[in-house]
Chains A and B, each alone.
Chain A
Amino acid sequence: MSVAIYNTVWLIDDDELANYVNEKIISSQHFAKSTVVFTTVDEAVASLDLAAGQKGTGFPDIVFLDMEMPGLDGWDFIEAFQRLSPDVKKQCKLYMLSSSIDKSDAERAMAYEDICCFISKPLTTDVLQTIMDSKPGSSQS
């Protein structure tokens, strides 16, 4: 059993099926020690602010963010994330995880500096592997 690469991964999506699939893949890949699921952006933003205040504890290393949600949506979360200080922000990589396969959606997402990558659902082991490979010092594991 290898040690998980990341401490905390956040899944922000109102689609329960998608969350189920993603959690399963993440845990089977030993991608993160803990996976936190938010089905509304409201909750996610509240936790983000809280974690940022606690100087690291509970702050996610990776966030997979869906865009289309009722009420506050993925774009609202990005807004909230942008307001954080650069020191805090650099601890976390923000991935957009969307059911869209539309190029224009990917382009729109990539216009945000804080978004690392636009990933079309479903999340796969290959995608997680790529993320892990891109982490500095990942070859040690």
Chain B
Amino acid sequence: MKEKPRCLSFDKLMQYSPDLIFILDQEGILVEINRACSSLLGYDVQELIGTSIKDLVYAADLDETLMLLDAIVGGSKSNYHENRLVHKTGSVIDVSWTIGWSEEDGYLFCVGRSGAANLKAEYSKVKEDFNIGRAQHHELTEHASGVLDMLDTDGGYIYAGGAINKRLGYSSEELIGQNVFDYIHRDDVKKFKEAWIKLNNLPLLQVPGYRFLAANGEWRWLETILSNQRYNPEVNAIILISQDITEQKKSWVKTEDSDQRFRSLFENNPDMVVYENKKGVILDVNRAAETIFGFERHELINRTPSAIFPAATLPLFYERLQEAAAGKQVNFEAEIEFRKTGKHVLDIKKIPVVVDEQLVGIFTVAKDITAVRQSFNIIKKQANKLNTIFESLTDAFFTLDRDWNLTYINSEFDRLLQTNKKENIGRKLWEVFPEEKNGVFYRHYKHAMETGAAAHFEAYLSRLNAWFEVKAFASEEGLSVYFSDITNRIIAQEELKKLSVVASKTHNGVIIADKSGVIEWVNDSFTHITEYTADEQYGKSIIDLFTGAGTLQENARHAVSKIISSSFFEAEVPFTAKSGRELWLEIGVTLIKDTEGSVTRYIVMISDITLQKQAILERNQFIEVLQSSNQSLHEFTHVVSHKLRSPVANILGLTSLFNLPDIDNATKEEVIDKLGTAAHNLDSVIRDLNHVLSLRDSFDLEKTNVQFDDVLNRVILLLQDQLTQSQVEIRRDFSLAPSVYAIEHYLLDIMYNLLNNAIKFQGSEEKPLVEVYTQAEEDFIVLVVKDNGIGFDLDKHRNDVFGMYKRFHSHVGGKGLGLYLVKTQVETMGGRISVNSKNGAGSKFEIYFRKIDK
């Protein structure tokens, strides 16, 4: 230890200075102390020498004091300090210090002035005065700069002395008898009372600061020393020495306030704030930092960054720290993966704190921009996505702001309009297309922007000699516009118009349908043929038109697939005109494709082929008739060759008998007789043939409307004998079809033969009955002749029933020609005949006459 500095004046100073003078070494040990310590702190000089300042400083202030002393030793120029010391009695005294460091001595020189020092001195004096006597006391206190009040044990004023009361605006008389507690601020009463109670055990106590009501209603801050003189028989009161410290308090509050404010800013800052020294050791952190680091404050204080930050980021941090330590404000972003709280993106500021050109620490303020960064990334992605969408639009697309500036242009825009978006974005639309200013596009866009209504229009852009279909949607930002080149469509429409002019003049019906088969146009001939008007068909499906008019769904489907595969389809289809008239149409469907091969239209040509179709049907019917008659003729020749040959063979046989050696005359005569019979038979056959041939040759015989009743009456007349003989009953009913369009003579023959057969082949068991009646069917009138006779085996004779010279019954006479004739006659008239029969169960003949016959 160095030699204590000694000189006479120093000793005097130490003896008489009312301020505390401490000389401390670097460790805070008191090396020298003046006598004021006994009056201010209650210690003797010798008691304190060698002790540490730490023992004297009020615990709450100790750290700050030590830090400051360190700082001063470290070279800090800040040498003013306020703290509190503890009186030997335990009371706390505010002391304002001026501290100096002597490098050469290695000592700290501290001069402290007690805030209450003057009062204390005064008090001592007062105390003496008490001892002298009350009478003198009054005079003394009147002139004292301080205040002296005396209270009874309940706080009631016994004596209210001097200046302070005057300053507060009270006269002595006003206060006496009043209770001190009534004047103390509600919030400070507790503090005062605590001191009051403590006073029971202590002779002297300071109430550091409380608010006292002034006469003008203002609250003044007082600091009061309480002295318990109740046991002093001369006084028997509590003595108060008060000082108005309002002004100090105000300035203190201000300091406190700014400190509080700083503290609050620090603590409550939503950004994380770390205070560190130049080596990066953490001195303090705020709550936000705790949250982000995932540690509590006490776990962080005095730690280095390596405890918190991942190793990978440490170099960056130390580098930035050094920059900050060099006095530079540093700003940087870092993405840090914290062990406890995961990844954060931080916007970090390092601010060096320099006091008196000395770096005392570094504030690090970090803003958590994770969410911001994330949303930024999302926005960026969305923007990209939107861009992709706009680019991938097959339509051209651009956006305008409200000042007509182009804010977005996609590639299709450039392709269609042969522009370069890089040059045009940001420019006004009318700068890019000056010729369109006030044109049709402008008008539509303007309207859309002004009304907010979507615009949809087709317009011609003269610059490119092209047509565009445009859709524009207004928003707050401006206008989004989609457009596509429809020049081809417009050309196609024009062509359609031209085509329509041509097509309207043709006799064929023409239907033009769009690519989905919706009818766009029909010509007059279409209406003429189908009776459907254009207006009835516009917008309707072409498929529906045909299927609704008789074409099968299946055929329609087939047609569609055929068209698609071969671009052309032709068919003849039945078609019901609007009036219900049945038509046959020939339709030819042609597919129109655009240059890219997509279907744009169907053209359907229809022509009315009903007459041709009818002619064909008739021809086919005629061929059928011819074929059938050819077949009959074939059969006829075959049968005839037999039937003619039979009598001829007989004649040959009979004549050969004449050559027999033993023939007698009687035999000869017999043979001659039989030759006659044979010749007669031959004649009969030839006559039959002639008859049949004459029937077959009678196409030109005229048909008339013949009444069944009349014909039957005549037949009955012809068969009168047989009918009488056979007792056959005939029932008739022609009510359903009383007449038929036929050759009368044939009908008579037919009915004669059928009735004759019915009589011939009557059964033996039942009473013979023949029913003759007619039925009307859709296309035919049917004549039915039904008997209850012997019938025949239909299965066996199916092919021969109506054959020439066919007979099924050997016991009943006949040439086997009747039904053959019937059939021939029926067929000659264009009808047909059928039979149903069973052995022993009668026969039923049905003859079908065509109804519609010209």
A residues with a Cβ closer than 8 A to B are: 14-15, 17-18, 20-22, 24-25, 28, 39-42, 68-72, 99-102, 120-125
Contacts and interface: CB of A to CB of B under 8 A. Distances in A.
Given A71-B809, A71-B810, A24 B649 contact: no
Interface of B: 638, 641-642, 645-650, 652-654, 656-657, 660-663, 667, 674, 677-678, 681, 805, 807-812, 814, 816
The 7 tightest CB contacts between A and B, nearest first, are A122-B653, A70-B807, A71-B810, A21-B653, A121-B649, A99-B646, A17-B650
Contact of A100 (B642, B654, B807, B809): B642
Contact of A69 (B641, B642, B656, B810): B810
Given A28-B661, A71-B809, A15 B653 contact: no
Given A70-B807, A71-B808, A122-B652, A25 B660 contact: yes
A68 B810 CA distance: 11
A18 B661 contact: no
Given A14-B810, A17-B654, A17-B677, A99 B649 contact: yes
Given A24-B667, A71-B810, A15 B646 contact: yes
A40 B809 CA distance: 10
A136 B596 CA distance: 97
B810 A21 contact: no
Contact of A18 (B638, B650, B662): B650
B641 A22 contact: no
Given A68-B642, A70-B807, A102-B641, 18 more contacts: A17-B647, A17-B650, A17-B678, A18-B650, A21-B654, A21-B656, A25-B657, A25-B660, A39-B810, A68-B646, A70-B810, A100-B641, A100-B645, A101-B641, A101-B645, A121-B646, A124-B653, A125-B656
Given A21-B654, A122-B652, A122-B656, A71 B646 contact: no
Contacts of B809: 70-71
A15 B805 CA distance: 14
Contacts of A100: 641-642, 645
A21 B657 contact: yes
19 contacts: A15-B646, A17-B654, A17-B674, A18-B649, A18-B650, A25-B653, A25-B657, A68-B646, A68-B805, A70-B808, A70-B809, A70-B812, A70-B816, A71-B808, A71-B810, A71-B811, A72-B810, A121-B649, A122-B652
A111 B232 CA distance: 177
A22 B653 contact: yes
B467 to A, nearest CB: 83
A28 B242 CA distance: 195
Contact of B642 (A24, A28, A70, A99): A99
Contacts of B646: 15, 18, 68, 99, 121
Contacts of B810: 14, 39-42, 69-72
A32 to B, nearest CB: 16
A42 B811 CA distance: 11
B121 to A, nearest CB: 172
Contact of A121 (B650, B660, B661): B650
B650 A21 contact: yes
Contacts of A102: 638, 641-642
Nearest to B805: A68
